[in-house]
Amino acid sequence: MTSIRSTRIAAALAIPLITAGLAACGGSGTSSESASVELDSIGDTLVVRTVSGSAWGGREGRLVPEITIGVLDGPEEQIFGNLRSMAVGPDGRIFVMDGQALAVRVFAPDGSYVRTLGRDGGGPGEFGQPDGGMAMLSDGRLAVRDPGNARLQLFDAASGEPLETWPVIAGGFNTSNPMVRAAGDTLLTPVLMDRDVDVSEWRMGLQRVAPDGSIADTLEAPDAGWDAPRIEARMESEGGTSVSMNGVPFAPDEQTAYHPDGFFIHGISNRYAFTLLRPGAWLRIERGAEPARVMPGEKDEAEASATRNMRFTDPNWRWNGPAIPDVKPYYEQILPAEDGRIWVVVELPGVEGEDPDYDPTDPDAVEQRWSAPNAFDIFEVDGTYVGRVPAPEEMRLYPRPVIRGDYIWAITRDELDVQRIVRYRLEPPGPTG
Taking residues 343-367, what's their average pLDDT?
Answer: 90
Identify whether 330 is part of a domain: no
Mean pLDDT of 31-44: 82
pLDDT of residue 364: 78
User: How far apart are alpha carbons 85 and 94 in whole angstroms?
Assistant: 11
CATH of the domain at 412: 2.40.128.630
Closest by CA position to 158, among listed 195, 111, 100, 106: 106
How many beta carbons lie within 10 A of that of residue 316, not counting itself? 8
Tell me: the pLDDT tens digits for 190-232? 888 776 777 667 778 898 999 999 988 888 888 888 999 999 9
Sign, CA torsion 209/210/214/217 = negative
Q: Can you give the pLDDT at residue 421? A: 98
- Is 358 domain-assigned? no
Could you read off the pLDDT of 363-414 as tens digits, one per residue? 878 889 999 899 999 999 999 999 999 999 999 999 999 999 999 999 999 9
- Residue 328 belongs to some domain of the structure: no
Residue 31: its pLDDT value, please? Answer: 41
The pLDDT value recorded for residue 248 is: 97
CB 432 within 8 A of CB 65: no
Residue 113 lies in a domain: yes
Confidence of residue 356 (pLDDT cuts 50, 70, 90): confident
pLDDT at residue 14 above 50?
no
- Residue 357 domain-assigned? no
Q: What percent of the chain stands above pLDDT 90?
A: 68
Strands 94-98 and 83-88: antiparallel
Q: 302 in a domain, yes or no?
A: no
- Residue 172: pLDDT band by 50, 70, 90 thresholds? low
113-165 pLDDT per residue, tens:
999 999 988 888 889 888 888 999 999 999 999 988 889 999 999 999 999 99
Average pLDDT value over all residues in the chain: 88
pLDDT above 80 (res 273): yes
Confidence of residue 26 (pLDDT cuts 50, 70, 90): very low
Domain that holds residue 402: 2-222+255-293+381-427
Q: How many domains does the chain have?
A: 1
Q: Is the peptide bond before 279 cis (omega within 30 degrees of 0)?
A: no
Instruction: Kindly provide the residue ranges of all beta strands, DSSP E only, lying in 338-418, ordered along the sequence.
Output: 342-347, 351-352, 370-371, 374-379, 385-390, 395-396, 402-404, 407-413
20 belongs to a structural domain = yes
Q: Give the confidence band of 25 by pLDDT, cuts at 50, 70, 90.
A: very low
For the full predicted model, state whether its pTM sits above 0.85. yes
Whether residue 266 has pLDDT greater than 80: yes
Q: How confident is the model at residue 33 (pLDDT cuts 50, 70, 90)?
A: low
Ramachandran class of 280: left when φ > 0, alpha when ψ lies in -120 to 50, beta otherwise: left
Q: What is the pLDDT of residue 169?
A: 63
Give the pLDDT confidence score for residue 200 in this predicted structure: 63
pLDDT digits (tens, 9 = 90+) for 236-246: 988 888 889 89
**Which pLDDT band holds residue 7 (cuts at 50, 70, 90)?**
very low
Lowest average pLDDT, out of 27-31, 175-179, 259-263, goes to 27-31
User: Under a CB-based contact definition with an 8 Å cutoff, are residues 98 and 107 in contact?
Assistant: no
Q: What is the pLDDT of residue 199?
A: 64
Q: 348 in a domain, yes or no?
A: no
